Amino acid sequence: MRVAGLLPEYLPLMAELDGRWKVQPFAFDWRLDIDDSAARLAETIRAFAKGGPCHIIAHSMAAWSRAA
Partner 1 sequence: MLGDFHRGLDWGEWQAPEEQLRAQWRSPRFGPETSGGVAGRGSLAAASRRSGSSYRRFHECALEGRVAPGSRKEQVLERKGAGESQRVPSRSKEEAMADRETASWVALQQALAGGDMEVVRQALRGLDEADRRSWPSGSGPADPAVGARGAAEPRHGRSASGGRVVVIHGIMGARLDVVEPDGDSDRVWVNVGAFSTAGLPTWNWSTGCAPRPAEAGARRRTPPRVSPADG
Residues in the site for partner 1, rule: CB under 8 A? 1-33, 35, 41, 44-45, 48-49, 52-62, 65
Rg (CA), the chain: 12
Q: Tell me how far, at minimum, the Cβ of 7 lies from partner 1, in Å.
A: 6
CA angle 39, 12, 67 (to 5 degrees): 20
Cα–Cα distance between 64 and 28 in angstroms, integer?
Answer: 11
Q: Helix (H, G, I), strand (E, B), or coil: what is residue 19?
A: coil
